[in-house]
Amino acid sequence: MQRLIVFNHVSIDGYFVDAQGGMSFAHRAANNDEWNAFVSDNARGDAEFLFGRVTYEMMAGFWPTEMAVKNMPDVARKMNEGRKTVFSRSLERADWNNTTLVKGNLAEEVGRMKKADGPGIVIFGSGSIVSQLTDEGLIDEYQLVINPIVLGAGRTMFAGLKAPRGLRLKSAREFSNGNLVVSYEQSV
């Protein structure tokens, strides 16, 4: 059975996107060697990526670009070559390399994906997907990069959550750029 992991950046006040829907706040520490080594090392995994439409379109519009390949070659290679699934009722096609478009029931399809053999599944962004799958109890781990910034407005990835969900701290790692990576699992 595959594990389903959320990996998202959040501000100290809990937003994963700013008031305009952007994530530039998460990239302000890009010139930090310790952080860049962590990001490159993270890109070595074989997990499949799972996106909602908005995040998919943002990622597909950035990672294949010359700028992405030049500035973050390890991450760009993984993003462009890795397996990806996008859940959308409105997309007609998903042209980014190695992408499968799924229009079916999110919880049922993700449940099937988790039961299949494989290296795991990672969700980036995709707040409405995170919220829905949290409600269904399908997310095994939340890996959050807490960025040392207060946005004051934005969107939480848990908007619309039907009930609180208890979590247990698995690990925490502090970086010299002020980022803190915390990992939480569902409490039993």
**pLDDT tens for each residue of 113-133:** 999 999 999 999 898 999 999
CA 83, 89, 91, 93 torsion-angle sign: positive
164 is in which domain, residue-wise? 4-186
Closest CA to 179 of 15, 26, 41, 13: 26
Single pTM value for the model? 0.92
pLDDT score, position 37 = 82
**Domain CATH for 101:** 3.40.430.10
List, as one string, the DSSP characters of 21-69: S--GGGGTTTT-HHHHHHHHHHTT--PEEEEEHHHHHHHHHHTTSHHHH
The segments of the chain whose pLDDT lies below 50 read none
C-alpha triplet 138, 23, 61: angle, nearest 5°: 85
Quote the crossing angle between the two packed helices 73-81 and 33-42, to the nearest 10°: 20
pLDDT score, position 188 = 65
* Count of residues making up the chain: 188
pLDDT score, position 45 = 75
pLDDT score, position 183 = 96
- The amino acid at residue 23 is M
pLDDT score, position 38 = 84
Instruction: Domain count for the chain, please give it.
Output: 1
C-alpha triplet 144, 24, 106: angle, nearest 5°: 50
pLDDT score, position 74 = 86
